[in-house]
Structure 1
């Protein structure tokens, strides 16, 4: 059976689309949203927009980021330490969350209420690239 050029072109395009479809269906970068019940931290300003996409989300306290690594956009381990590397935050946990400068909830700190965002931590007490702990507290 002989196919017309138009039919052959259509089949080739459909085959290419099918081959590429799984890549297009990959999980979207978490920088575009922060799911409810989580506090999301980002290594870059403005939630990593235009930067390396390292992020991490929290649902409970963590007193020392020294043993935490950033996640990549695809949820894989980046092997890059989070300690003193946070530049922006989104809070969707349902209560307030405090970022602390030093492990053990000490030093300068900044508190973010539910549904607050800050894409530029340099203008906060905790500062840019100085976060070492997170305290999530609900009353």
Structure 2
């Protein structure tokens, strides 16, 4: 059975799409989850929904965010500093985690219990775009 040129073109397009779509669909945005054993920070409100997807996850303290850059949705370096740029948080570390206003764990701060989410840091003492350090309390 011979395919017409149109049918052959459609079949070729379907073959190409089926090869491309699974590869891109397999890359899930990190904002959709925050894996256990981590504290995930996001550059925008509501875990970046509808905004640039800059995020970072931590498994231990970080006393100064000024030497950290946000990651893009595909885990590549965004080359944008995350210092004073956090707007939401998910805590899956297994204990409390505190965001601090200044490096070295000083200034205003907000503590987040294990398995807590806050998509709007502007309503906390740490406020929006002021976090410069993360202290994890698993001691």
Q: When the two structures are superposed, what TM-score results if normalisation uses the length of structure 1?
A: 0.92
Q: Using the TM superposition, name which of 23-32 and 117-126 deviates more.
A: 23-32
What does 1:44-59 correspond to in 2, within 5 Å?
44-59=44-59
The Cα offsets for residues 45-83 of structure 1, whole Å up to 9 and x where unpaired, read as 000000000000000000000000000000000000010
Distance 1:117 1:109 in 2: 16
Give the equivalent residue in structure 2 for 1:66.
Answer: 66
Distance 2:9 2:79 in 1: 44
> What secondary structure is seen at the aligned counterpart in 1 of 2:66?
helix
Distance 1:110 1:14 in 2: 51
Give the equivalent residue in structure 1 for 2:111.
Answer: 111
Distance 2:106 2:58 in 1: 19
Aligned positions, number: 139
Distance 2:48 2:3 in 1: 49
Question: Structure 2: where are the runs of 5+ without partners?
Answer: none
Q: Using the TM superposition, name which of 20-29 and 48-57 deviates more.
A: 20-29
Question: Structure 1: where are the runs of 5+ without partners?
Answer: none
Distance 1:115 1:45 in 2: 18
Q: When the two structures are superposed, what TM-score results if normalisation uses the length of structure 2?
A: 0.92
> What secondary structure is seen at the aligned counterpart in 2 of 1:40?
strand
CA shift for structure 1 position 15:
1.4
